[in-house]
Structure 1
């Protein structure tokens, strides 16, 4: 088994043996020697009302075959309904400025599609789910799923297919030949030979570099001080990786440091401070 489809469900108790579906996702994950496989359902009790359930399927197709009738039998005591109807498809890039867009991966792009209910969930159902602030907080704390921040995820099931590519970029400000380098880690070499376009630029200029994806370090020259890097990787005309990052050129930290004991005058207390500025970089 080279891949698994790892399913995660959040359920709320409806009656003794049935739970209402609140949220779910599945991630197709290529395995390494360090990964584990969990073929049986495991449950984690959040409180008397909420449970989190997870297991690994051999593929998304196996999960779809089981969930296609709209229900998942987790064990003899837990049955939950699941949306298995309309779908939407998206590409999730590594643009961290898109705070409204949920991406379960910190450093990976992914293809995604969603199962939705055939009818929009009623507003009262969403509001009722959001009232369980403590439960949602525990889910965020333990599993990093912030349903309060992304309420549109409620009552949806997401399919995520991550692209296991990461990049490392270095820029040396000296005006010398080959002052930029970039290297990609295509973990499973699934995208070797894909077209890579790297753009470094600022408000006035940009430099474009193109090559075919491999795991080697690529050097090029930039004759100006760039503010950002924009990377796009395409395979067979389809974008599989996209990341735009801005460079931090200057950090300014202002600190107030207590300079001695407080001065007491009548019923007033005056604190004594020294202000210190720490500046790293020149911001040019």
Structure 2
């Protein structure tokens, strides 16, 4: 595999890999945008998704595979060099759905990677792994997890499984705690934690190639506005975000996401996810 780099100051940013990549969830909104941003920057992309991705780009292929099917996942990850794992339910669900897809499916991805000798995974984690930190608190990836939903809890599982598969089998994973990956932020919270597709692609390339990746966690955010997250680990790996939410947000990007419990949703970083099934009593833990 070859590696290209560009340098800005003391930071070295990986701009291309020749690796053949499998992307679970590659037909989804985030996956589609990321594929476009990675076009010409990876050797090939093998999409793994139940949904039809539509017209395929150059060097793209597609397998209709359910990530909860372990044997199918082993077949689907043959002949690739790395995995970008985005598949799963992107919001709160019943526990059975979360366990079957987000938890078991993620396990199947790591196990299929192990059986196929794949040494690199980029895991699409979530800011909802730490959603119950107050908004006036800045955290790094080293603080304890505080998931705000069963969905967030499933992403904690994925990060922990990545650690297990590094310690036992040497699979190197970059966990990206994605903020808001919409085309453009729709409200004030999204503006503060937004990440562009090209900045996500930059992080993915770092995860696929940087020599210092072990089981490493970073925040998926473009130029920082919120002050909620210390992303020094990402910057030390050469991440130099090119975009920011203030530039792309429309003039109507204000707090318009309604919640039955605004005193909960507006206090914690996870927003309305924190208010789902909440009893309405605000509890403050030391950060």
Q: Same fold (TM over 0.5)?
A: no
Bigger CA radius of gyration: 1
Structure that is richer in strand per residue: 1
Tell which has more relative contact order, 1 or 2 (C-alpha 8 A, sep 6+).
2
